[in-house]
Amino acid sequence: MKTSNESVLTDELLMNKIFLIRGQKVMLDKDLAELYAVETKQLKRQVNRNIDRFPPDFMFELTPEEYDSLRSQIGTLKRGEHIKYLPYAFTEQGVAMLSSVLNSKQAIHVNIQIIRIFTRMREMLLTHKDILLKLEQMEKQVTIHSKEIQQIFAVLKQLIQKPIEPRKKIGYKNGER
């Protein structure tokens, strides 16, 4: 049985393998193969044999530009090494479908963890969206108040910069009566 510390480490590891490509959260075939303890070519072979299960919203192949951009971000290859085929990127639904293609206990266990991570990330995004909306509302209020405060400071500066004229004394002066 795993301790909570191992579970957190595993969750962190999984979250670090989720990328945002084409506006979708995806995992790469290489990372999934590593997690399932299979070779990447075996994973790809199984996917290609069952390609009808993987429509474009479940899985897509990266373009050379996307791969180069991703490679420069995460350093997937050492200098001088090249891949023969571009990686597949699997969305949450594609990862779930992989469990039916790779029917090992490890694949099922890892899939359950990955789906839970995707679900948590979705919940976090919804929470963050609410927070962002509230911050935008507060920012608008602060902007309005900021303009009003700037006007107050401008008036105060004018008052400070105006020379104070000597006042005439009020009251009776000696000898005027």
Spell out the residues 6+ positions from residue 36 whose beta carbon is closer than 8 angstroms to its own: 43, 98, 102, 104, 106, 107, 110
Q: Give a yes or no: residue 11 inside a domain.
A: yes
pLDDT confidence of residue 71? 75
What residue numbers bound the domain in which 56 lies?
4-129
Q: Give a yes or no: residue 103 inside a domain.
A: yes
Q: Give a yes or no: residue 150 inside a domain.
A: no
Q: Give a yes or no: residue 162 inside a domain.
A: no
Mean per-residue pLDDT, 27-56: 91
Taking the alpha carbons at both ends of the chain, their separation in whole angstroms is 105
Our count of domains for the chain comes to 1
pLDDT at 23 over 70: yes
pLDDT at 78 over 70: no
Q: Give a yes or no: residue 43 inside a domain.
A: yes
Higher pLDDT, residue 160 or 66: 66
Instruction: Tell me the pLDDT tens digit for each residue of 149-159.
Output: 888 888 877 77
pTM to 2 decimals? 0.59
Instruction: Tell me the pLDDT tens digit for each residue of 93-122.
Output: 998 888 788 877 777 788 888 888 888 888
Q: Give a yes or no: residue 90 inside a domain.
A: yes
User: Quick one: which H or E segment has residue 18?
Assistant: strand 18-21
pLDDT confidence of residue 57? 93
CB 89 within 8 A of CB 26: yes
Mean per-residue pLDDT, 4-16: 62
Q: Give a yes or no: residue 176 inside a domain.
A: no
pLDDT at 146 over 90: no
Q: Give a yes or no: residue 141 inside a domain.
A: no
Mean pLDDT of the chain: 79
Read off the CATH number of the domain in which 110 is found: 3.10.260
pLDDT confidence of residue 104? 77
Write b or e for each residue in 47-77: b if 16 or more Cβ atoms lie within 10 A of its Cβ, otherwise e. beeeeeebeeebbbebeeebbeebeeeeeee
